[in-house]
């Protein structure tokens, strides 16, 4: 069977996007692992499935590179938002995700003519049980030192709804990622704190309305960006006085987004939704092969955006 896939990204967080009318059509885990292998056309961070929904304009499922399924993905949702809105000739829509039906909307470009969409991020909880996470019978961890993790870094645990551990750090921990890597590896293997693993983000304050975020994503590893992590990081930074404004620019290894933080339950993630390749694929049971892949011109425009990001972050991260 021949199918068309799009290779897409939000802030460098790369996915294949496939529409299906039947969620049981294929072994999605097997397909995802094949698509995402680094030696296969550069791989990807996961597969975005666009499915029919009884409650919204479409349903999104997110299969991570390792075959696990994420409850939400902010960067992926922007790409699904663009696909659904363009297909239905709409400027906004409702997309069903695992834990919430979320509003998406086409926005003015953040940089030159790059397609830009906003997505609502919800629900938000600081209860450790929502991640789940266990630590000394505490109900929450908000901007606290966890001695077992670091004697100096202040951490916040939050689900949005993906589980996140957010650390506010100095530039040293951004330039040298070994501490973050070791902690994330520990928390995403068998451990007493996070039985289902957790996304670990380190946040460096740049100005009163901008931060830099690097994320080790559960099921993926270090990624160019994670939409829910960037939103959670902006929320944590605002609540703890790291930034002062309600609109926070979040830079990351794959680009930048803007997060609107009006309150804990009113969060908006705004960023690019870029299509880099249009692919034709043959699928036969668990056998997959490429027919044709055609790059788009959108990559050139995003390269200009990355030059802008590098110029903005270089003074802080030299």
Q: What is the pLDDT of residues 1-28, one digit of tens each?
A: 899 999 999 999 999 999 999 999 999 9
Q: Per residue in 159-214, pLDDT tens?
A: 999 999 999 999 999 999 999 999 999 999 999 999 999 999 999 999 999 999 99
Domain 2-121+272-317, CATH among 3.40.50.300, 1.10.760.10, 1.25.40.10, 3.10.310.10: 3.10.310.10
User: pLDDT tier at 317 (50, 70, 90 boundaries)?
Assistant: confident
Catalytic residue at 51? no
Catalytic residue at 226? yes
- Map out the domains of the chain as residue ranges: 2-121+272-317, 128-267
Domain at 128-267, CATH class: alpha beta
Domains 2-121+272-317 and 128-267 fall in the same CATH topology: yes
The catalytic residue among 85, 194, 226, 279 is 226
* Alpha carbon 66 to its chain's center: 15
- pLDDT greater than 90 at residue 287: no
Mean pLDDT of the 110-115 span: 96
Q: What's the confidence (pLDDT) of residue 284? A: 84
The count of other CB atoms within 10 Å of the CB of residue 267 is: 23
- pLDDT greater than 90 at residue 266: no
Residue whose C-alpha is closest to residue 171's, from 202, 136, 134, 138: 202
- Mean pLDDT score of the chain, rounded to an integer? 96
Q: What is the pTM of this model?
A: 0.95
The catalytic residue among 36, 73, 79, 259 is 73
CB within 8 A of 241, min separation 6: which ones? Answer: none
Q: What's the confidence (pLDDT) of residue 285? A: 77
Question: Which residue in the block uniquely carries the two structure tokens 């903005």?
Answer: 312
CB within 8 A of 155, min separation 6: which ones? Answer: 141, 143, 144, 145, 146, 149, 165, 166, 167
Question: Which residue in the block uniquely carries the two structure tokens 């409850």?
Answer: 71
């Amino acid at each position: 069977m021949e199918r068309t896939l799009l290779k897409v990204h939000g802030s460098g967080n790369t996915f294949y996007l496939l529409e299906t009318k039947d969620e049981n059509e294929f072994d999605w885990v097997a397909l995802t692992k094949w698509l995402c292998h680094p030696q296969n056309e550069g791989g990807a961070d996961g597969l975005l499935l666009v499915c029919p929904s009884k409650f919204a304009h479409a349903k999104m499922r997110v299969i991570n590179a390792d075959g696990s399924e994420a409850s939400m993905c902010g960067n992926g949702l922007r790409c699904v938002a663009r696909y659904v809105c363009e297909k239905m000739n709409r400027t906004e829509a409702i997309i069903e995700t695992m834990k919430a039906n979320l509003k998406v909307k086409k926005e003015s470009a953040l940089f030159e003519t790059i397609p830009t969409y906003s997505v609502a991020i919800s629900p938000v909880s600081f209860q450790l049980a929502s991640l789940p996470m266990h630590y000394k019978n505490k109900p929450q961890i908000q901007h606290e030192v966890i001695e077992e993790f670091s004697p100096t870094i202040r951490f916040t645990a939050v689900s949005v709804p993906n589980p996140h551990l957010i650390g506010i750090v100095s530039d040293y921990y951004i330039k040298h990622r070994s501490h973050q890597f070791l902690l994330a590896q520990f928390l995403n293997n068998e451990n007493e704190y996070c039985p289902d693993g957790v996304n670990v983000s380190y946040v460096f304050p740049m100005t009163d309305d901008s931060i830099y975020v690097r994320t080790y994503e559960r099921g993926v590893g270090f990624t160019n960006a994670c939409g829910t992590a960037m939103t959670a990081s902006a929320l944590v930074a605002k609540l703890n006085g790291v930034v002062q404004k309600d609109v926070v620019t979040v830079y990351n290894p794959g680009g930048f987004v803007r997060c609107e933080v009006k309150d804990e339950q009113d969060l908006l993630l705004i960023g690019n939704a870029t299509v880099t390749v249009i692919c034709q694929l043959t699928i036969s049971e668990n056998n997959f092969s490429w027919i044709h892949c055609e790059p788009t011109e959108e990559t050139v425009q995003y390269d200009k955006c990355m030059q802008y990001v590098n110029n903005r972050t270089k003074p802080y991260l030299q």
